[in-house]
Amino acid sequence: MTLSTENQKMSAKYVLVAAAWPYANGDLHLGQIAGCYLPADIYARYHRMKGNHTLMVSGSDSHGTPVTVRAEQEGVEPTDIFKKYHESFLDTFQRFGISFDLFTHTDTDNHADVTHDIFLKLLENDYLYEAEQTLLYDASTERFLPDRYVEGECPHCNFDRARGDQCDNCGRTLDALELINPRSKLSNSEPEPRKTSHHFLRLSAFNEQLTKWIESKEQWRPAVRNTGSLHRQQTINVATT
């Protein structure tokens, strides 16, 4: 081994490339490839060529609401939908030459074990708390409705097929309770607001640490760091799902 080669190995960085996990409810489209996976692949290949220790990872999200919505539309189990599109993702990445070191999915025992461990540790350390939240309830099916199970009129642009999480017409992020004349995608009936209990992550407890960590990332673009927003407001607590 030459001295220059040894120096290169000693100065090699550890680079993690973590690409977004796509919902396994439909085939990947060109926007996802061009906007997410191709840039990540180029970045990973660049660092491998520099001799850095590079790991590019991602996986299929098999537990998201879009998966269950698709399954109910097709009259099959969510597992059937997940398996079908996970295989489609693998085939697409192989044909495009996307070089994942690991492309897994959320249906593994390891994923379940790690998720449970994180939840319990947060609970033990008082970073989770229980609180009431008002959600829409479909009385005919006796189910609380996730955002994507609700459609209605957008309060901003009056598009009549806005989802409970966003309007695809004007692009606004929504709360399902904001929709005008909401209807359940399960029964086409009008849901009613009801209170239910959820666990919330006390994200505000990490505000100072997160701000310092983000401010240290000088290589990030200003729009990504956006530390001004963190200084102006405290981090909002979020519901765990």
Distance CA 117, CA 98 (A): 31
B/e letters for 206-225, b = 16+ CB within 10 Å, e = fewer, are eeeeeeeeeeeeeeeeeeeb
Look at residue 11 in the predicted model and tell me its pLDDT. 80
Task: pLDDT band for 104, please (50, 70, 90 cuts).
Answer: very high
| Mean pLDDT, rounded, for 22-34 | 95
Region 128-199: CATH code: 2.170.220.10
| Ranges in the chain annotated CATH 2.170.220.10 | 128-199
Predicted TM-score (pTM) of the model is 0.79
What's the mean pLDDT when you consider all of the chain? Answer: 90
- How far lies 219's CA from each of 195, 214, 223, in Å? 44, 10, 12
Mean pLDDT of 54-68: 94
Residues of the chain with CATH 3.40.50.620: 1-107
Strands (E), 139-179: 143-144, 150-153, 162-163
Instruction: Check residue 3 and give its pLDDT.
Output: 45
Q: Strands 53-60, 162-163: parallel, antiparallel or unpaired by DSSP?
A: unpaired
What pLDDT does 236 receive?
A: 59
Other Cβ atoms within 10 Å of 2 Cβ, number: 7
> How is domain 1-107 classified at the CATH fold level?
Rossmann fold (3.40.50)
